[in-house]
């Protein structure tokens, strides 16, 4: 899987945070991405501002992903929002949730 391969660069945080970082973005009708937003939550799913550097690293990896396919509704290509949630345990990505 491409995401896991890109995470093999050993992205981690010195803060040893636990929680989730979700990157939301738009995939347009041509399969191109944009309008990226990052949300950080602790393990209780409350919004927080833990580690800016880790969030920025995950945002850059997400922006580098390609191969997104536009949705088709009644034969017409359309855009959609995609969410990738990175589960963080002890400052390292332990899982990627769709």
Q: Where are the domains of the chain?
A: 2-97
- Cα-to-chain-centroid distance, residue 25: 8
The percentage of residues in the chain with a pLDDT greater than 90, rounded to a whole number, is 36
pLDDT of residue 15: 74
pLDDT band at 8 (very low <50, low <70, confident <90, very high): low
Does the pLDDT value for residue 12 go beyond 80?
Answer: no
Question: Which band of pLDDT confidence, cut at 50, 70 and 90, is reported for residue 23?
Answer: very high
Rounded mean pLDDT of 16-21?
87
6: its two tokens: 């890109």
């Amino acid at each position: 899987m491409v995401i896991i391969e890109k995470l093999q660069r050993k992205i981690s945080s010195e803060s040893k945070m636990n929680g989730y970082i979700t990157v939301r973005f738009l995939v347009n009708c041509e399969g191109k991405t944009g309008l990226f937003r990052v949300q950080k939550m602790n393990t209780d799913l409350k919004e927080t501002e833990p580690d800016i550097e880790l969030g920025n690293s995950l945002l850059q990896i997400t922006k580098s992903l390609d191969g997104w396919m536009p949705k088709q509704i009644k034969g017409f290509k359309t855009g959609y929002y995609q969410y990738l949630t990175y589960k963080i345990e002890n400052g390292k990505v332990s899982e990627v949730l769709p």
